[in-house]
Amino acid sequence: MRILVIGASGMLGTDLQKEWTQDEIIPAGSRDADIRDAEQVRALVSRNRPDWIVLAAAYTDVDGSERNPELAFAVNGQGTENVARAAKEFGARLFYISTDYLYDGTSTRPYEPTDAIAPLNVYGQSKAAGEKAVHMYAQDWCIARTSWLFGAAGASFPEKILRAAETRPELTVVADQVGSPTFTRDLAGAMRDLVRGEARGVLNVTNAGSCSWFEFAQEVLRQAGRGAVRVSPITTAQAARLAKRPAYSVLSPASLHAQHITLRSWQDATKAYLQDLRACGKLV
């Protein structure tokens, strides 16, 4: 198969190229096409004629989306529509990456793909617009909702914690938001298997288990041998971030298990992530 990866230079896109070796991967970045420009997208798809398009490009700055909602919707909403329309026109199937921030966080159990969405922030609303565009304009598609991405190929929460720990004796981390950290290498492998398994519809794809940001930070530091750094829990209100965030956004793995795919625990994924950081010289 020919797989066009849009957003190939990002954290997930980089790991997709590493993990997906069984098919012909065609990497595309913003230099190849700005997804906000329908004609550029159409030309890209026409030129490459892929069997599948994986849309890994997105505007993911949650607080930045509050400051610039027009940009968030232009990329995540209109950009997705442009890709979905081009996919349909040229007979390509579409794989779209979505988010746990579609939910309002009031659930007392892990969210299923069939649960109603009610995003609290502009970022979540823009990704909801992207999902709607896939439903409306793509002919053959799969949506993977995922959460709390981290990987060695880009800046992510664990690396920020490790960098902060180098200069600060004490860190404060939010303890009242709970989700599922997801290693981009594991997500990439699952996406590959879903495409090769002809999966369709909306699925949840995260590493197994859940934790708070506070617990995630503690585990990262412990595994990195920096457990002496003190981490103190704070509330979302104390963090005073611009965008509202769901207090609970754990995604149920049932839909992924139904495709006979199971991902390792987020703790085991953290160990592999730290090994990757060391391999690329980002962690001693």
pLDDT tens digits, 157-212: 999 999 999 988 899 999 999 999 999 999 999 999 999 999 999 999 999 999 99
Where are the chain's structural domains? Answer: 2-155+180-208+249-263
CATH class, domain 2-155+180-208+249-263, is alpha beta
Alpha helices (H) along the chain = 11-19, 38-48, 62-67, 69-73, 79-89, 122-137, 157-167, 184-196, 213-223, 236-239, 254-257, 266-279
* 103 noted as active-site residue: no
pLDDT tens readout for residues 232-241: 999 999 998 9
Structure tokens at 142: 């799969």
Instruction: Reply yes or no on whether the pLDDT at 2 is more than 90.
Output: yes
- Asked if pLDDT for residue 278 goes beyond 90, the answer is yes
Look at residue 149 in the predicted model and tell me its pLDDT. Answer: 97
Can you give the pLDDT at residue 217?
A: 97
Give me the percent of the chain exceeding a pLDDT of 70. 100
pTM score, two decimals? Answer: 0.95
Provide the 3-class DSSP secondary structure of residue 26. Answer: strand
How confident is the model over 199-217, as pLDDT tens digits? 999 999 999 999 999 999 9
From the list 59, 111, 123, 248, the catalytic residue is 123
What are the tens digits of pLDDT across the range 84-138?
Answer: 999 999 999 999 999 999 999 999 999 999 999 999 999 999 999 999 999 999 9
